[in-house]
Amino acid sequence: MIDLSYTRSRLLAEIEATDFAAGPLSNITDPRVATADAHVRFCGRGRDELFPLLKAALLERFAAVPRLQLIRDLLIPLRNALGNAFKHGNGRDPGKAISVELVLARKGTLVAVTDQGDGFDVRLTFRRFQENENYFVNHGCGFRNLHQAMSTVTYDNGGRTVLICFRPAKNSERVSLSSPADTGDPTAAPGETSRPGHAARQPGSGRREEARPSKSEIRNPKSEIDRSLLTSAATISRRLTDGARGFEAAEVFPKRLDADWIQACLSTEPQDSGTGRANIEACRIYPISGRANDDCGIRCVLRVAGLDGRPETRILTGRLHATEAAAADDFEAATRLREAKISKRVHIPRPVARPAGEPRLVLYEFDSWMNLWEFLTFRNSLKSLRHRAERIGQTLAALHRSQVALRGMETDPLGTGLQATIARAETNLQILRVGSDVVNRFRVCVHRLQERAASRRRQPPAPIHGAFGWDCIHYGVDGRFYLYRFEACRRSDPGLDLGGFAADLLCFTLAHHDEEVFQTCCDDLLRHYNSETERPMDENDVRFYTALALCERLGRLQSNINAGAELLLVALDATLMREGRPATSEVSS
């Protein structure tokens, strides 16, 4: 929150910063940033240049901090500060620099962002903000996000410098990267409890004990972020990662695949790839570790000589698959989908390389900022939720009607595939020891699902993503949305993709809102899908495929997440209870 009583010296004292005899480091990729007390100062021209480097360094430094907490309290305020410095401070003048200074100490970090503008009256602006007066030039979200963070924020240098002091909880301080702490729930901050006055939602009730908000906006997860961090639903898309898809990713990135190895491999790539021998000057690897990681893969930060001779920074994301076959499928499908240019609304990241020395590794020119679940949690807008549903409906329609040649043909996914999915889910529930009541509830749901399956019309095979969910949709640091994880792409029933998206949409709305919000967004999804597809579906189709996707998710839940199983069962029950009701969405003939 913004507290103008704080000074720089007081904030430094709170993180127990030491005096640095030598001058500050000038390279944010210096390994000491992750492991020791450090002082760093470097400059850039804008948010797009600076934020990706800061994000990678801070995610590594604070790997033990719950990811949503780190996003809320440090990364979002930092990104807003960089944006304000460029837009307001420097007036979008590319000739003016933004200076970023970090002091990294045992109890946290102090980040100072300084522009070369004229400054502003901080106290007057903050008073207007507190009194709900008109204080902003654009939307004012930067100032609001700074104030809603749990970090301490203040200003210096006549408003030209914003200071952000981040102090993680005591038992989530930095840990050794070689032996990260037990991740447990990757979003629950240690010792957190729901705030007084925040009524709990009863599972499956469809309503809250507190007053329901207007339909024009969503409950503010920023003001209730501690409760949001504790919500098991907020972790589902992170827990259902590629390690549980049947296309497993390797859990440990081999030590031999270090920066020198990556640089050597990329240097053998064709010159037109942008990473050829004459271009790469340096490489820094940011590993996958701890609770703060995004499950996308390692980051390779490259310093590349630009066309004008000045160095440029490029960031690649690397996925290490468990098998060469999965990596080959991932790389080939991404290449073909990108070349087909199926959508201008949601993009396909460019696959850069699959090195011969490690054929399980796929490198993408892509840097995720948040997955869709995280984006919508912090976006805090029903308009954004509906807009994403619309865009995904259009994107899936474009994929399904495309002529992209994909490996594999699945002719009867609702035959043997359904029975195998159900068997895996029941076996997993028994292994997780969720209790006989949960298993019995699942069996009741399965009985209804099998009855529906017997009367389903078979959909003609089409190009599909094949393992679609919100963890496959990412908001990049460039402000664009991307599809991700392509190893399950094949020709099969297009309803599987719609059901995968709708299943996560239902879990999200049950956790944050109610079934009415889900129905509104699902209608948007289906309406925009049907407007652009050759084979439209109705609501009962989507409900069936949603139930099928929820069963599949129950089959790949990991250990110690009984609350996640409970939410999936509530969602499954709600879906099957609605199945068979009259449809409200029109289907074009």
122-130 and 141-148 helices, crossing angle to 10°: 80
Structure tokens of 73?
């309290």
Instruction: Report phi then psi at 352, rounded to 5.
Output: -95, -45
With respect to residue 494, please indicate whether it lies within any of the assigned structural domains: yes
Give the 3-state DSSP-derived string for 3-39, with helices as H, strands as E and coil as C: CCCCCHHHHHHHCCCCCCCCCCECCCCCCHHHHCCEE
With respect to residue 20, please indicate whether it lies within any of the assigned structural domains: yes
Q: What is the pLDDT of residue 223?
A: 39
HSE (side-chain half, CA atoms, 13 Å) at 8: 12
Question: Who contacts 181 (Cβ-Cβ below 8 Å, separation ≥6)?
Answer: 64, 172, 175, 290, 291
Domain boundary (368, 393, 425) is at 368
HSE (side-chain half, CA atoms, 13 Å) at 87: 14
Tens digits of residue pLDDT in 494-529? 999 999 999 999 999 988 888 899 999 999 999 999
Q: What is the pLDDT of residue 399?
A: 96
Q: How many domains does the chain have?
A: 3
Q: What is the chain's alpha carbon radius of gyration, rounded to the nearest angstrom?
A: 24
Structure tokens of 390?
């619309």
Tens digits of residue pLDDT in 465-501? 999 999 999 999 999 999 999 999 999 999 999 999 9
- The pLDDT of 563-573, averaged and rounded, is 78
For residues 209 and 113, the model is more confident at: 113
For residues 271 and 71, the model is more confident at: 71
With respect to residue 241, please indicate whether it lies within any of the assigned structural domains: no
- The pLDDT of 171-194, averaged and rounded, is 34
Q: Say if residues 66 and 172 touch (Cβ distance below 8 Å).
A: yes
Q: Say if residues 150 and 70 touch (Cβ distance below 8 Å).
A: no
HSE (side-chain half, CA atoms, 13 Å) at 475: 14
- The pLDDT of 229-240, averaged and rounded, is 45
Domain boundary (153, 170, 187) is at 170
With respect to residue 347, please indicate whether it lies within any of the assigned structural domains: yes
Q: What is the mean pLDDT of the chain?
A: 80
Q: Say if residues 368 and 317 touch (Cβ distance below 8 Å).
A: yes
Q: What is the pLDDT of residue 270?
A: 60
Tens digits of residue pLDDT in 419-471? 778 888 878 777 766 677 777 777 777 777 777 776 667 778 899 999 999 99
Q: Say if residues 495 and 461 touch (Cβ distance below 8 Å).
A: no
- Helix boundaries (H) for 433-561: 436-454, 495-512, 515-530, 539-554
End-to-end CA distance of the chain: 54
Same-domain pairing of 503 and 412: yes
Residue 144 confidence (pLDDT) above 50? yes
Q: What is the pLDDT of residue 133?
A: 72
Tens digits of residue pLDDT in 432-442? 666 777 777 77
495-512 and 382-401 helices, crossing angle to 10°: 170
Closest CA to 314 of 579, 560, 29: 29
Instruction: Report phi then psi at 118, rounded to 5.
Output: -90, -5
Question: Who contacts 359 (Cβ-Cβ below 8 Å, separation ≥6)?
Answer: 324, 327, 328
Sign of CA dihedral 569, 571, 574, 580: negative
* Most confident residue range from 16-20, 139-143, 164-168, 277-281: 164-168
- The pLDDT of 295-323, averaged and rounded, is 88
Determine the Cα angle at 467 with ends 466 and 469, to 5°: 130
Distance CA 72, CA 70 (A): 6
DSSP letter at 363 equals E
Tens digits of residue pLDDT in 161-178? 999 999 997 655 443 333
Tens digits of residue pLDDT in 214-232? 333 444 433 343 444 334 3
Instruction: Report phi then psi at 267, rounded to 5.
Output: -70, -15
- The pLDDT of 147-156, averaged and rounded, is 92
DSSP letter at 146 equals H
Q: Say if residues 466 and 489 touch (Cβ distance below 8 Å).
A: yes
Same-domain pairing of 554 and 417: yes
Assign residue 82 the CATH number of its domain. 3.30.565.10
Distance CA 381, CA 379 (A): 6
Assign residue 273 the CATH number of its domain. 3.30.200
- The pLDDT of 371-393, averaged and rounded, is 93
Determine the Cα angle at 529 with ends 527 and 535, to 5°: 110
- Helix boundaries (H) for 352-435: 372-379, 382-401, 416-432
What is the Cα 357 distance to its own chain's centre? 30
- The pLDDT of 87-97, averaged and rounded, is 93
Same-domain pairing of 351 and 387: no
Q: What is the pLDDT of residue 413?
A: 67
HSE (side-chain half, CA atoms, 13 Å) at 18: 9
Same-domain pairing of 536 and 451: yes
Give the 3-state DSSP-derived string for 108-119, with helices as H, strands as E and coil as C: EEEEEEECCCCC
Q: What is the pLDDT of residue 239?
A: 46
- C-alpha to C-alpha distances, 365 to 72, 197, 350, nearest whole angstrom: 26, 45, 5
Find residue 155's DSSP bridge partners.
Answer: 162
Determine the Cα angle at 525 with ends 519 and 527, to 5°: 100
Range of the domain at 42: 8-170
* Most confident residue range from 41-55, 300-314, 414-428, 450-464: 41-55
Domain boundary (368, 391, 417) is at 368
Of the listed ranges 101-105, 124-128, 490-494, the least confidently predicted one is 124-128
DSSP letter at 181 equals P
Q: What is the pLDDT of residue 203?
A: 32
Q: Which residue has the tokens 């790469």?
A: 280
With respect to residue 382, please indicate whether it lies within any of the assigned structural domains: yes
Q: What is the pLDDT of residue 416?
A: 64
- Confidence class of residue 191 from pLDDT cuts 50, 70 and 90? very low
Distance CA 130, CA 110 (A): 25
Q: What is the pLDDT of residue 446?
A: 77
The CB density around residue 509, as the number of other CB atoms within 10 Å, is 23
Q: What is the pLDDT of residue 167?
A: 95
The CB density around residue 118, as the number of other CB atoms within 10 Å, is 11
Question: Who contacts 238 (Cβ-Cβ below 8 Å, separation ≥6)?
Answer: 67, 186, 187, 295, 371, 373, 471
With respect to residue 224, please indicate whether it lies within any of the assigned structural domains: no
Q: What is the pLDDT of residue 268?
A: 73
Q: Which residue has the tokens 């003016």?
A: 96
- Confidence class of residue 83 from pLDDT cuts 50, 70 and 90? very high
Same-domain pairing of 351 and 410: no
For residues 194 and 45, the model is more confident at: 45
Find residue 318's DSSP bridge partners.
Answer: 298, 363
Same-domain pairing of 410 and 307: no
| Percent of the chain as helix, strand, coil, to the nearest 5 | 45, 15, 40
With respect to residue 406, please indicate whether it lies within any of the assigned structural domains: yes
With respect to residue 129, please indicate whether it lies within any of the assigned structural domains: yes
Assign residue 524 the CATH number of its domain. 3.90.1200.10
Q: What is the pLDDT of residue 4?
A: 93
- Confidence class of residue 262 from pLDDT cuts 50, 70 and 90? confident
Same-domain pairing of 362 and 392: no
Same-domain pairing of 440 and 513: yes
- Confidence class of residue 138 from pLDDT cuts 50, 70 and 90? low
DSSP three-state, residue 510: helix
Same-domain pairing of 68 and 99: yes
Q: What is the pLDDT of residue 216?
A: 37
Same-domain pairing of 423 and 572: yes
- Helix boundaries (H) for 214-371: 225-230, 236-239, 259-266, 324-340
Same-domain pairing of 418 and 489: yes
For residues 109 and 193, the model is more confident at: 109
Same-domain pairing of 155 and 54: yes
